[in-house]
């Protein structure tokens, strides 16, 4: 990319967490879906085979709460080795690379409510044991969790503690002989609870030491509530779990006493990332449903797929998938590179995987929001395209609409993830891991100078400039807000609206830059699946809309805390930094829609 004087190049160093805000990246240095090799595509086909033969034929039955089917399918998946692809070989896993594991989640996206069963087991069910279990615990549980003979459940949420997990009331007290803990309390919204063999339970030792425990099925005092009646994901088992003087060995502690927050929060990083992949896989299935119906539904003697309003929807669905997918695989590769780097330095597989996800916690939070909200838009518009049939339970559109809604809530609500995105960025800056002060100051100096009259030149020059300007806008707004806080004029902890504005701009930045880099990398390939004008149309439409969103979010933030000459200067700067050439978006969307309609699929 064209370098901005105040934004440094990554050179040979991969981006660290959050550095996408202050550093540029070369297209050659990212991974895109077009880079998958034959082995990775073979694994995808294996997953597709399982999905089409074992999962899809049972989705209607799952919808009628046949939880035994979910259990059976999960255990079959383990028999194929697909539950342990992200676990080290020493514990029965396949130890596949991060990009391949991302592809597996992407492929499993159309599994509807079974995704919750699968993701809860392979993510928050298995990873805490891999990350924080001692050797004896890993050897005892992980091989069975990989082959499906042991199903995991994660017991964190309580009636009074959702996003504020550390305020949990469940209590654990050491017996007089020091050999056991007595646990009392309750958990709710526990996925897989109805057939889980191993429960990861969080409790307050002595009422104030938040700690994880491994509790086996059948333990006296472990009581399951009735299956919850839910809006969606009806095929997944969700129950309350009660602990009534439950006695567990002291050896069942997972990790360290009082360090349960490390288990809870670090397990969520991977969960958020995987949720984006699963959401996009589901979104692709929804788009397939939309275009198939649009081609067969005749109104006014023509398929509704021929109408401009429908083409707009189909194109927009494809654009949201393509752009978010670009960010997903870019971050996937960053985590893979970090894991490899750490392992080469002598770190074991589990800790390298843990620290790689922790390094990119900001990006994982962004992807969770972007993926879940792309899915929500797509299932909503797919239902709309189906019209009355979409509102009927006879088809799949209604089920997808209901199932998707949970994605914005679990793994941390989207509101929490937005706030975390900015909070983690500022904390990394305060710890010296990320220098945003220098680049922010450079933007302030630029505001005092005359705008350059030199027009961007070269391939994707306008898009590169726009991405660089997005970074300047975010640094300008965040820097000004931080300065106001230092001066005691505002308290950002009480200004969540400002933080949400900044987070939304960061989401648009990561997705915009990732899409630009993907399109640029595709353009450098000897052969492309579609003419470049199709990929460029998706890029240009997204950049047009993202520029408008960045302008609005920045304006909303600035007018809420700045005034007088400062506000005037900032708004002039904002006008300078949000100029993107007008695009015939109608023509671009129609071009994209024609490809989708022709292939009757998400074809990219």
Q: Which pLDDT tens digit goes with each residue over 530-552?
A: 999 999 999 999 999 999 999 99
Pick the CATH number of 153-258 from 2.40.110.10, 3.40.50.11930, 3.40.50.620, 3.30.230.70: 2.40.110.10
Let me know if 411 is a catalytic residue.
yes
- The CA distance from 464 to 313, in Å, is 27
Q: What is the pLDDT of residue 40?
A: 97
Question: Is the pLDDT at 95 greater than 60, yes or no?
Answer: yes
* Annotation: CATH topology of 38-151: Butyryl-Coa Dehydrogenase, subunit A; domain 1 (1.10.540)
Instruction: Write the DSSP symbol of residue 450.
Output: P
- Partner residues linked to 522 by β-bridges: none
Pick the CATH number of 435-599 from 1.10.150.120, 1.20.140.10, 2.30.110.10, 1.10.260.40: 1.20.140.10
Helix (H), strand (E) at residue 224: strand 222-227
Q: What is the pLDDT of residue 14?
A: 82
Question: Is the pLDDT at 9 greater than 80, yes or no?
Answer: no
Neighbours of 309 (CB within 10 A): 9
Question: Is the pLDDT at 187 greater than 50, yes or no?
Answer: yes
Q: What is the mean pLDDT of residues 501-516?
A: 98
pLDDT in tens, 267-299: 889 999 999 999 999 999 999 999 999 999 999
Backbone phi and psi for residue 64, each to the nearest 5 degrees, phi listed first: -95, 25
Q: What is the pLDDT of residue 10?
A: 42
* Annotation: CATH topology of 261-416: Butyryl-CoA Dehydrogenase, subunit A; domain 3 (1.20.140)
Question: Is the pLDDT at 564 greater than 50, yes or no?
Answer: yes
The structure tokens 């922010």 sit at 440
Question: Is the pLDDT at 231 greater than 50, yes or no?
Answer: yes
User: In the predicted model, what is the mean pLDDT of the chain?
Assistant: 95
Q: What is the mean pLDDT of residues 175-197?
A: 97
Per-position DSSP letters for 247-293, written without gaps between them: EEEGGGEES-TT-HHHHHHHHHHHHHHHHHHHHHHHHHHHHHHHHHH
pLDDT in tens, 453-473: 788 889 999 999 999 999 999
In the chain, the percentage of residues whose pLDDT exceeds 70 is 98
- The CA distance from 170 to 438, in Å, is 46
Comparing 261-416 with 435-599, is the CATH topology the same?
yes
Helices (H), 405-495: 414-430, 437-447, 461-486
pLDDT band of residue 8 (cuts 50, 70, 90) is very low
Q: What is the pLDDT of residue 452?
A: 77
Q: For the chain, what are the domain ranges?
A: 38-151, 153-258, 261-416, 435-599
pLDDT in tens, 241-255: 999 999 999 999 999
Question: Is the pLDDT at 149 greater than 70, yes or no?
Answer: yes
Question: Is the pLDDT at 26 greater than 90, yes or no?
Answer: yes
Which of the following is catalytic: 19, 317, 325, 411?
A: 411
Q: What is the mean pLDDT of residues 205-225?
A: 97
- The CA distance from 536 to 307, in Å, is 23
Four-residue CA torsion sign, 127, 133, 136, 137: negative
What is the reported pTM? 0.95
- The CA distance from 18 to 360, in Å, is 7
Question: Is the pLDDT at 165 greater than 80, yes or no?
Answer: no
């Amino acid at each position: 990319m064209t370098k901005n004087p105040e934004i440094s190049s990554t050179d040979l160093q991969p981006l660290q967490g959050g550095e996408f805000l202050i550093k540029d990246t070369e297209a050659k240095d990212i991974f895109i879906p077009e880079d998958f090799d034959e082995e990775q595509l073979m694994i995808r086909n294996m997953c597709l085979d399982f999905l089409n033969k074992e999962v899809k034929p049972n989705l209607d039955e799952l919808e009628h709460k046949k939880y035994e089917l979910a259990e059976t399918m999960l255990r079959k998946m383990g028999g194929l080795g697909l539950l342990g692809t992200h676990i080290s070989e020493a514990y029965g896993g396949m130890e596949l690379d991060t990009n391949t594991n991302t592809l597996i989640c992407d492929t499993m996206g159309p599994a509807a409510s079974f995704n919750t069963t699968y993701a809860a087991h392979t993510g928050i069910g298995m990873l805490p044991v891999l990350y924080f279990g001692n050797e004896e615990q890993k050897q005892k549980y992980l091989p069975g969790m990989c082959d499906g003979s042991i199903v995991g459940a994660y017991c964190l949420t309580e009636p009074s503690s959702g996003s504020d997990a550390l305020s949990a009331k469940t209590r654990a007290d050491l017996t007089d002989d020091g050999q056991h803990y007595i646990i009392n309390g309750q958990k709710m919204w526990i996925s897989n609870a109805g057939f889980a063999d191993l429960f990861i339970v969080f409790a307050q030792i002595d009422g104030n030491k938040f700690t994880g425990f491994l509790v086996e099925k059948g333990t006296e005092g472990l009581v399951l509530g009735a299956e919850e009646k839910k809006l969606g994901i009806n095929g997944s088992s969700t129950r309350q779990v009660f602990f009534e003087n439950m006695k567990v060995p002291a050896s069942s502690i997972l990790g360290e006493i009082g360090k349960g927050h490390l288990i809870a929060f670090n397990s969520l990083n991977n969960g958020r990332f995987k949720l984006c992949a699963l959401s996009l896989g589901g979104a692709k299935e929804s788009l397939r449903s939309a275009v198939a119906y649009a081609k067969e539904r005749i109104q006014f003697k023509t398929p509704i797929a021929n109408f401009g309003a429908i083409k707009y929807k189909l194109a927009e669905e494809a654009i949201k998938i393509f752009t978010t997918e670009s960010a997903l695989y870019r971050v996937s590769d960053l985590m893979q590179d970090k894991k490899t780097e750490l392992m080469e330095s002598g770190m074991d597989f589990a800790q390298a995987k843990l620290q790689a996800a922790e390094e990119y916690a900001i990006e994982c939070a962004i992807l969770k929001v972007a993926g879940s909200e792309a899915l929500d838009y797509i299932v909503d518009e797919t239902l709309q395209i189906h019209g009355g049939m979409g509102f009927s339970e006879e088809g799949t559109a209604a089920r997808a609409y209901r199932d998707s809604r949970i994605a914005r809530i679990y793994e941390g609500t989207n509101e929490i993830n937005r706030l975390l995105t900015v909070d983690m960025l500022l904390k990394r800056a305060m710890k010296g891991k990320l220098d945003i002060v220098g680049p922010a100051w450079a933007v302030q100096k630029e505001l005092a100078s005359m705008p350059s009259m030199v027009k961007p030149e070269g391939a994707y020059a306008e898009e590169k400039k726009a991405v660089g300007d997005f970074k300047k806008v975010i640094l300008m707004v965040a820097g000004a807000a931080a300065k106001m806080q230092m001066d005691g004029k505002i308290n950002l902890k009480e200004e969540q609206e400002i933080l949400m504005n900044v987070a939304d701009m960061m989401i648009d930045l990561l997705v915009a830059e990732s899409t630009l880099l993907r399109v640029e990398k595709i353009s450098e390939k000897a052969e492309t699946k579609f003419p470049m004008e199709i990929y460029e149309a998706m890029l240009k439409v997204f950049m047009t809309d993202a520029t408008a969103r960045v302008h609005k979010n920045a304006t909303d933030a600035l007018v809420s805390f700045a005034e007088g000459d400062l506000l005037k200067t900032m708004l002039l700067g904002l006008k300078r930094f949000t100029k993107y050439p007008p695009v015939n978006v109608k023509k671009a969307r129609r071009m994209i829609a024609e490809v989708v309609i022709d292939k009757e699929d998400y074809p990219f």
